Each structure stands twice: as structure tokens, then as C-alpha cells.
Amino acid sequence: MILDLLRHGETEQGGLRGSLDDALTDKGWAQMRSAVAEAGPWQVLVSSPLQRCGRFADELGARLSLPVQREPALQELHFGDWEGRSAAQIMEDQADALGLFWADPYAFTPPNGEPVEVFADRVLAAVERLRLQHAGKHVLLVTHGGVMRLLLARARGLPREQLLQVEVGHGALMRLVMGDDGQLVEER
């Protein structure tokens, strides 16, 4: 399966968005439209149900005459009490905690947040379901930075502590190939 990963564009609110359901800005829509302009063709469209992904996926699906499969397990990490706050705001009152999270997100969970291990398990299980459903097909997954970082880190064989060092900008489009054995390989 060829798995193209598209991160949503810029959203109306800044900071850690996680499970918050924000809309895209005009710039965010433009970032996503630009990313897919010369890409594809896809046989399957899959999206996070959050509107910053789903609304663009619906627009693209209508244009390509493809249904959009919503996959709740491919939502962003839930950042708990940090959702809606910028790193600078978190640094004001929880600098040590933020430092621990950045150093090893698997070892530190934001207050009332989702453990990265749980997040990783749900995302990897969802991608495995996609592989089984769509073996041999070209799939576009419209998703979030955290989901993409996780999958790219796996494909690159990075240690878990380096998860947050994987760069994924708004509107980024990247390709992975998933073998029959479930192994992910980044195609550059």
C-alpha cells in the first residue's frame, strides 16, 4: 500500500490543538490545496474526523469522485490541560514538565493528557487496518502532525525519544510505502 500523509493546514487558533476541533484559515486551505495539486492519483481517501482535516478531505473527495473514510483513531494526540496553549504559555507555569515532554514524550504525559504509548498503539492499529482493507492501493490520509511524526519516525527507525524532532509543517505531504509485513518505508 502506498500511503500519502497530508497534514492539515494552518488553523484559526494557535498552540497545541490536539482534540480541539478548529477550522482552517484561508491560508490553511491554500496550503492543503497546493500540496495535492500535482499529487495522486489516489484510490482511497481517509481522514481524521476533526474538521481541520475532514472538511478538506470532503472537498477533495467531491472533486475526485471518491468517498471519504473517517477514521477516529487517526486523530491527534490529546494534550490534556495543555490543549489550546502555546509552548510559551506552558513554559510560564510548567517549564519543567514541558521539558520532560519534549525530551521523551513517551516517558512524560501532559497533565490529563493521552499517554503517547496509547496514542501510538491506536494510530498503528488504525494504519494496520487500512493496510488490510486497502492492500495494493494508493491511499491519501488527511491527518495531524503527531500522527505523521509517529509514522515517519517508525519508517526512519528513530528512537522514541526523537519523535518530536521529526519536522512536519502545515500542509506537508509525505509518502510512505507499507509492505505486506506492515513495515513502513519513507519514499522521498
- What's the whole-number mean pLDDT along residues 137-163? 96
- Tell me the three cell numbers of residue 39: 499529487
Q: Provide the number of structural domains found in the chain.
A: 1
- Separation between Cα atoms, residue 84 and residue 90, nearest integer Å: 10
Pairing of strands 138-143, 44-47: parallel
Q: Is residue 82 part of a domain?
A: no
Pairing of strands 173-178, 2-7: antiparallel
pLDDT at 39 over 80: yes
Is the backbone peptide bond immediately before 67 cis, with ω within 30 degrees of 0?
A: no
E strand or H helix that includes residue 141: strand 138-143
Closest by Cα among 181, 179, 174 to 152: 174
Q: Is residue 83 part of a domain?
A: no
CATH number, domain with residue 52: 3.40.50.1240
pLDDT at 188 over 90: no
This prediction's pTM: 0.95
Q: What is the pLDDT of residues 47-61, one digit of tens each?
A: 999 999 999 999 999
Beta bridge partners of 46: 69, 141
Range of the domain at 68: 2-11+22-77+114-187
- Separation between Cα atoms, residue 152 and residue 149, nearest integer Å: 5
Q: Is residue 170 part of a domain?
A: yes
Q: Is residue 107 part of a domain?
A: no
- What's the whole-number mean pLDDT along residues 36-40? 94
In a 13 Å sphere around the CA of 10, the CA atoms on its Cβ side amount to 9
- Separation between Cα atoms, residue 98 and residue 8, nearest integer Å: 24
- Of the pLDDT bands very low, low, confident and very high (cuts 50, 70, 90), residue 14 is confident
